[in-house]
Amino acid sequence: MAITRILYNDRCPICRAEIAHYRARAEKTRAPLLFEDLNTADLGLWQLTPDQAKRRMHAALPDGRIISGIPAFAAIWAALPGMGWVARLVMLPGLRSLADLIYNRIAAPWLYHRQARRDARGLASDGTQP
């Protein structure tokens, strides 16, 4: 079975919670997904700098292509039983444009800058000193 690898930021509490949900579903259904924390992954294999990796979620498809943003989410949903319809829906041209706008202009930058501020203060994701 070909596996889709998902690169995410485990230091981001929102990202970590969302991936925990997807991971639990994937394990329960044996979906072909592998989740990798960008803070410990070999980013060279992803052809990403640390800054690029932190700015969006990424997926490595079984055919070797690396995708990011909404298509990466759609790859997760497509692999999870019962969620394929969500992947198809969000990838429809009009909805895809709206989802891209929200993710690329609002959600991803907000999460990136929030985590950058935490990192600069030397705080762990939960607000405590590491």
Q: What's the per-residue H, E or C state across 107-128?
A: HHHHHHHHHHHHHHHCCCCCCC
Whole-model pTM: value is 0.79
Write down the pLDDT at residue 129.
Answer: 45
Which strands sit side by side in the sheet containing 4-8, from one edge to the other? 33-37, 4-8, 58-60, 66-68
CA–CA dist 109, 112 (Å, integer)? 5
Name residue 59's beta-bridge partners.
6, 67
Question: Quick check: 8 pLDDT over 90?
Answer: yes
Domain boundaries, the chain: 4-121
Residue 130: which pLDDT band, with cuts at 50, 70 and 90? very low
CA–CA dist 94, 98 (Å, integer)? 6
Q: Are 121 and 82 in contact (CB under 8 A)?
A: no
120 φψ region: left (φ > 0), alpha (ψ -120 to 50), beta (else): alpha
Q: Are 90 and 75 in contact (CB under 8 A)?
A: no
Most confident of the following: 79-83, 98-102, 121-125: 79-83
Q: Mean pLDDT throughout 109-129?
A: 57
Percent of the chain exceeding pLDDT 70 equals 81
How is residue 82 written in tokens? 């019962």
